[in-house]
Amino acid sequence: MIRPSPARRADSWSRATVELCQALSAELTAGRTPGEALTRAVAAVDFPDPEALRPLVAAARDGGDVSAALISVAPTHGGEGLRRLAACWEVSVTVGAGLAALVERVGSTLRAAQAHRQDVAAQLAGPRATARMLAVLPALGLLMAGALGMRPLDFLFGSLPGLACLMAGIALDACGLWWTNRMALRAQAS
């Protein structure tokens, strides 16, 4: 089985947490107790690693510390929503605030953040594709020169100036790809 990349795994956890907030809010609005609502909501959501949620379900079912269980099952990447939900649970238990309203607010915040991430990813698709295309253009130039009978590989590998041009071109090409990727990652992080 192929393991998903860390970014895809974090995105899967984020999406599942949004679904959990929606399901939990619906269960609480229907009048269920918080523990029962959380147990039913977890069962209704397709999490990337359902086995990791067993301590959470046990805490909700048995009246344990649900806030601590939420924090313990939250993955490092993609678990921000679960940590926010844990804070809501703690506020609800400590102060007596309405859990349904808090969960709804967390869910709407997570949905807005997810929509923003998707929008940024869509806007970055064009620049990333352009960068990849520009990285391939030197190879296309070599093919065209070879088709015209210019023997570019003889020059690149057969002389010192050719080798210097080849190394400089590869370095600049790699630097351009790295720079574009770095700018895209920074844009996605903001």
**What pLDDT, on the 0 to 100 scale, is given for residue 2?**
67
The per-residue pLDDT for range 108-134, each reduced to its tens digit, is 999 999 999 899 989 999 999 999 999
In DSSP notation, the chain reads: -PPPPHHHHHHHHHHHHHHHHHHHHHHHHTT--HHHHHHHHHHHS--S-GGGGHHHHHHHHHT--HHHHHHHHS-TTT-HHHHHHHHHHHHHHHH---HHHHHHHHHHHHHHHHHHHHHHHHHHHHHHHHHHHHHHHHHHHHHHHHHTT--HHHHHHHSHHHHHHHHHHHHHHHHHHHHHHHHHHHHHH-
pTM value is 0.76
Q: Which residues of the chain have pLDDT under 50?
A: none
**What pLDDT, on the 0 to 100 scale, is given for residue 190?**
72
**What pLDDT, on the 0 to 100 scale, is given for residue 8?**
87
